[in-house]
Amino acid sequence: MRDFEKLQNQIGIKFKDPDLLRQAVVHRSYLNENSNFSLDHNERLEFLGDAVLELVVTEHLYNNYPNPEGELTNWRSSLVNSNMLSEKSSQLGLNDYLYLSRGESKDIGKAREIILANAFEALIGAIYLDQGYTIAQQFIMKHIVVELPRILENNLYIDPKSKLQEMIQEKLAVTPSYKVLEEWGPDHDRQFKVGVFLDGKQVGEGLGSSKQQAQEVAAGQALESGVWEK
């Protein structure tokens, strides 16, 4: 049983319209099996929340750092990527509230992380509609922008693809290549599995809702495995 009063306490926001909060965690797959469900899926809220998130983060970076556009873009990307958002979504306990199809509910891998990241963006959209920009901004500052010092201190804003290429070229004098291994799903919810290869040997694999995202995950896996040391 989903206790949305408890979720509101975890978020620290009392919704005027609790259905907005519920809709934020409804995955499209759930409606395929529950056509009479009273709410729509969360994709429109996700679309809105993504824009609000990017604006708040961009505004903060612009107002507080005089760095060049390229650096700020990398910093922003590190704050709003799916890994960060799925992590924050899990911390808030959104996984326990998701409305998923029976098939999706069994998947606990990368596909679930993407669903959680999307739900976090949908939650921001719901907060924005229900409470306005200032409350949404405060929520984003508290849960997302707070991570910026850690990201800068540890150079986590350098994307995995760039980091892998730099490392491999330095250590092995070759260039990583990427190949789509599999893709599936409808156009609005496409999923890609991408492999990263060195001299024809696969050294990492990633799943994402875009080829670029899947490549980043694959590169990250290759980095974690320390392929240049093998």
Catalytic (active-site) positions: 50, 121
| C-alpha span between 17 and 132 (Å, rounded) | 13
Residue 31 dihedral angles phi and psi, to the nearest 5°: -70, -25
10 Å Cβ neighbour count for 51? 14
Exposed, middle or buried: residue 98 (CB in 10 Å: 0-12, 13-18, 19+)?
buried
Within the chain, where are the H helices? Answer: 4-11, 18-23, 28-33, 43-64, 69-80, 82-91, 102-106, 110-131, 133-143, 148-153, 160-171, 211-225
| C-alpha span between 56 and 24 (Å, rounded) | 19
Tokens 């500052």: give the residue.
141
